[in-house]
Structure formats: structure tokens, C-alpha cells
């Protein structure tokens, strides 16, 4: 079953039975994803957050983003068509933000495109360190405006050694939604979140799209009156996280 099918099944189950998790679980989940803090934030210093933390970093509400996928993106190390996987997953952005962010996708011939404001570029590169990443696995590099809002993102993945879900993780998780890693040990394993990180995270597989609980957390934040730039105190006042 695809992650979209799992999500629909999750919604039906919650509607029928009620959500049985403790309230502070979701509060800690949101704090880790959006602020890089709290008990679910990884302790191995690989927070992989976008921008400064204890503040929601993201594109402004109402943004229409262009995702420019290089024709270099193809079959990843796990044999999955990374380009198609990413295109399919990008359809979730409008849903989880309730239309506050929308995405347009184009395939381009440039091998290493550089983004303009409002763009996210995606490319496969064999040696990401040469292109500005800190690891040969790849990375997401984000530019900000004067107010600290995300302005553009450049994603590079070495698909010769990385699975296709790495594109979804970096493009949607970091490059569009500005999310942080969440400690996979604290939430129940790598398969719980697209943003699973922390010690042992690379020993297992993450979802190939936003997971049901990722969606729930993201929707709670985007359904609130807050906007990117909100700090921890704002999240507390909105009753999204614990004081």
C-alpha cells in the first residue's frame, strides 16, 4: 500500500476510534519538526534544520513555488525511479498546507540548476562535496530573505549511493517545508517519519512520502493562525506545543 493509502486508512481509523496517542507526543513531534527542539530532537548534533531554530522557518503563506528537476535525476541506488517518486510526493504539499503553498513542477536539461527566488532546484551529482554539500550523500541548501523566510532551495543528491526517498526527504521536508530531523528512536523507528534522523537513522528506510503522523503534525501547524517566522512562544500560545 502506498503512503497515500496508509494516510487515508489512518484518517478513517482516527475518525472511528479517536487518536489514542498521548497529547504530549504530538506536541513534542511538532516541536522537533518545526523548531528543532524538545525531547524528540536528535541528540547527535545532526539536526539538519533549515535556518535558525526555535523559530518556524518556511516559505511565506500564499507562495507558488517552482520545482525545477534536472534531467540528471533518474534511477536511484535502490532501483526506484526517483524523478517520478518525487513528482508524485510533491502533490502532498498543497494538501498538508491547505493550499497555503502550491507547487509547479518542470523538468529541465540543466545538470546543476541554480534557483531564483521562489524556486527549488533538484539535481543528481556524483560528488556533492564539490558542489557545496558537507557529505557525499547530498544536501539541501536554502537562501533566506531579510526577514528569515525561505527564499529558494537547491537540492543535490548522489543517487549512486542514496535511495530515491532521499529526494523526497530533502526536497519536500527540508527544501519546501523547512522541517528538521526527528529522532527515530523517540518516535518508534525510521519508518514513522519522512524526517527520521538521529543515531541509527541510516540503518533503516524512511517513508517515501510524508507519513500519516507527519501530515497530522504539519496540518495542525498550517491550520493555525501562525506563519513562518513564529517563535517558540507563539507555538505555545497557539497550544501546538507544551510550555
4 in any annotated domain:
no
For the chain, what is the total number of helices (H) and then of strands (E)? Answer: 8, 7
- Percent of the chain scored above 70 by pLDDT? 85
Strands 138-144 and 150-157: antiparallel
Residues 123 and 161 in one domain: yes
- Statement to judge: residues 72 and 52 lie in one domain: no
Examine the pLDDT at 134 and tell me if it is beyond 50. yes
Do 79 and 145 belong to one domain? yes
**Domain-terminating residue out of 177, 193, 228:** 177
Evaluate whether residue 11 is within a structural domain.
Answer: no
How far is the C-alpha of 124 from the C-alpha of 111, rounded, in Å?
8
Same domain, 117 and 222: no
In a domain, 155, yes or no: yes
- What pLDDT is stored for residue 18 in this prediction? 41
C-alpha 105/C-alpha 129 separation (Å) is 26
Q: Is pLDDT of 17 > 50?
A: no
Q: Where are the beta strands (DSSP E) in 47-200?
A: 63-70, 101-108, 119-124, 138-144, 150-157, 182-183, 196-197
Structural domains in the chain (count): 2
Q: Indicate if the pLDDT at residue 227 is higher than 90.
A: yes
pLDDT-based confidence at 39, cuts 50/70/90? Answer: very high
Range of the domain at 90: 58-177
pLDDT, residue 147, reads 76
The predicted structure's pLDDT at residue 117 = 96
Specify whether 223 is located in the same domain as 186: yes
Are residues 78 and 115 located together in one domain of the fold? yes
Question: Are 43 and 136 a contacting pair, CB within 8 Å?
Answer: no
Residues 127 and 26 in one domain: no
Q: What is the pTM of this model?
A: 0.88
Is 13 within a domain?
A: no
Q: What is the tens place of the pLDDT at every residue in 68-108? A: 999 999 999 999 999 999 999 999 999 999 999 999 999 99
12 within domain boundaries? no
Contacting residues for 175 by C-beta, under 8 A, at least 6 apart = 50, 120, 140, 142, 153, 154, 155
Residue found under cell 545538470:
111
Judgement on whether residues 101 and 130 belong to the same structural domain of the protein? yes
Do 68 and 141 have their domain in common?
yes
Q: What is the mean pLDDT of residues 3-18?
A: 44
Amino acid at each position: 500500500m502506498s503512503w497515500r493509502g496508509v494516510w487515508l486508512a489512518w484518517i478513517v481509523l482516527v475518525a472511528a476510534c479517536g487518536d489514542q496517542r498521548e497529547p504530549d507526543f504530538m506536541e513534542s513531534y511538532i516541536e522537533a519538526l518545526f523548531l528543532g527542539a524538545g525531547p524528540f530532537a536528535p541528540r547527535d548534533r545532526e539536526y539538519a534544520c533549515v535556518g535558525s531554530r526555535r523559530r518556524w522557518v518556511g516559505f511565506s503563506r500564499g507562495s507558488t513555488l517552482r520545482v525545477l528537476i534536472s534531467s540528471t535525476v533518474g534511477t536511484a541506488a535502490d532501483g526506484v525511479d526517483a524523478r517520478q517518486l518525487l513528482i508524485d510526493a510533491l502533490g502532498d504539499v498543497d494538501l498538508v498546507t491547505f493550499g497555503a503553498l502550491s507547487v509547479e513542477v518542470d523538468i529541465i536539461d540543466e545538470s546543476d540548476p541554480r534557483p531564483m527566488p521562489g524556486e527549488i532546484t533538484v539535481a543528481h551529482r556524483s560528488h556533492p562535496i564539490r558542489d557545496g554539500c558537507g557529505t557525499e550523500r547530498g544536501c539541501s541548501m536554502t537562501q533566506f530573505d531579510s526577514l528569515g523566510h525561505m527564499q529558494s532551495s537547491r537540492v543535490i543528491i548522489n543517487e549512486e549511493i542514496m535511495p530515491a526517498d532521499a529526494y523526497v526527504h530533502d526536497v519536500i521536508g527540508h527544501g519546501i517545508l523547512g522541517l528538521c530531523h526527528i529522532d527515530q528512536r523517540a518516535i518508534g523507528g525510521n519508518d514513522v517519519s519522512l524526517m527520521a534522523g538521529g543515531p541509527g537513522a541510516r540503518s533503516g528506510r524512511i517513508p517515501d512520502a510524508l507519513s500519516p503522523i507527519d501530515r497530522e503534525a504539519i496540518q495542525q501547524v498550517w491550520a493555525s493562525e501562525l506563519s513562518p517566522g513564529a517563535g517558540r512562544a507563539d507555538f505555545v500560545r497557539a497550544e501546538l506545543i507544551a510550555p
